[in-house]
Structure 1
């Protein structure tokens, strides 16, 4: 967007961004922000803001990309597939059935934890490509404005890239094996409808939903809690 097309209000906001970046640069290693000198253009100020957002996103992704990142987080833990609830209900009455179902839940969460590391580069790419006007809107937007932006711009790509990784993770964690055993046991139960939900698609969708929940949580913390504003730039922007 050309700067000459900005209205008076937008230009004032851009000037504000430039001023806060200049302030934080007094306390920050220039090499860290990949900016070599001052004074700054409006574009450079917006880029510094986007880098601050990237750090928050990185923190959110790291929270899930570890053992129990999904499994022990009640906000995003992936449950037994809803469309297969009848399976878990039925198998709870079969010797060893409940244990098999519990193992499936553990392993699909492990698979999501393994795959989540791929999200970071996708998120960072979306922020890097962000227009100046979008950066301003995020500063002045709703509590989850950045999360909404990322979901709108990256979810389709995440689902496409996540699925083969999830499929591989399901193999690595033996989830596919346990799932097959669960389905086999269930389908042997008399008078039950034969089922076999697509576990990879289910896990991919739930893992993606969980990621956005974590990003929203991190964004909310930055906006509302001073302790979570880890740079002077974040403090100046989100305390307004």
Structure 2
């Protein structure tokens, strides 16, 4: 089913790329873009044709009946940055089976490195990145001067503190937590961080990719994130990637040191 999901997500990504290039900029304001609803409707219809089950979406709401399968979708993670003209927002599509991630696709259609699609499904070894099979191993990596921690674009406003909190690694800001986790899973970094509360649609697909690459996603207390109840907030902050590095980062005083709205 993965190839069909990727094809659907790529179609949705073309809509986001076209909206980003729209004369006058994308429609919307704040953290709400018109294109987000349009993309989620497309994804909801297409995904439920591929696999019947429940659906949890950021824009069109949830339909939770207790079915064994549940699609979890963010049509454009990083909307505020998207509306501000910053590249790097991403479509996030994850599938749960009995509360466990069994498929994840994260697609950033507009980035400084070009369109980037990272995907995995259960029983697959490694990941697919832009159609190419890769086999990253997060477990073999460590937090050192050669590693990168992906953080939100707000880090640019407090670079000295983020440098300190990510040390000995360097920090790299980007809009979408879904894409931060996906890039870590693909081997571009050691960990991805969100200091803001996240919901299942923000992180499920990225979490699936991390698990496939030998990593995990932790909450602010260093506990693994699970999806037993999609109606409950997941966490106040999350840290995903190499397990030891994520535990180490989660123990640092982010909220005490940084000014976070």
Q: TM-score, normalised by structure 1?
A: 0.24
Structure with greater helix percent: 1
Q: Whose RCO is larger (CA < 8 A, sep 6+)?
A: 1
Query: Looking at CA atoms only, which structure, 1 or 2, has the larger radius of gyration?
Result: 1
Structure with greater strand percent: 2
Q: TM-score, normalised by structure 2?
A: 0.23
